[in-house]
C-alpha cells in the first residue's frame, strides 16, 4: 500500500466530499486520491507545456489547432 497523509479541510469541503462519495459509491479516500492524481497530472502538463512553448512558437505553432493540424 502507500503512506497515510493527514490533511485538515473545512466542514463545507468535507460535506461536499461525502456527498460525492455517496453519489459515486466510492470511498472518500479514493475520491481524494483520484483528485490529487488529476491535480498533479495537470501541474506536470503545465510545467511541460511551459518548457516546450518557446520551441513550439519558434516553429509557428501558436494554437492548439496548429498542433492538431500537424498530428492529424
How far is residue 61's CA from residue 71's CA, in Å, rounded to a whole number? 12
Q: For every one of its 72 residues, what pLDDT tens digit does the chain have, with 9 covering 90 and above?
A: 789 999 999 999 999 999 999 999 999 999 999 999 999 999 999 998 888 888 888 888 888 788 788 888
* Predicted TM-score of the model (pTM): 0.70
Neighbours of 61 (CB within 10 A): 16
* pLDDT for residue 53: 82
* pLDDT for residue 61: 83
As given in the structure block, the three cell numbers for residue 55 are: 520551441
* pLDDT for residue 4: 92
> Which sequence spans correspond to the domains of the chain?
11-71
Amino acid at each position: 500500500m502507500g503512506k497515510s497523509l493527514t490533511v485538515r479541510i473545512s466542514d463545507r469541503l468535507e460535506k461536499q466530499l461525502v456527498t460525492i462519495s455517496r453519489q459515486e459509491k466510492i470511498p472518500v479516500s479514493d475520491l481524494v486520491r483520484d483528485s490529487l492524481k488529476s491535480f498533479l497530472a495537470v501541474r506536470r502538463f503545465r510545467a511541460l507545456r511551459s518548457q516546450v512553448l518557446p520551441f513550439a512558437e519558434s516553429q509557428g505553432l501558436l494554437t492548439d489547432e496548429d498542433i492538431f493540424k500537424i498530428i492529424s
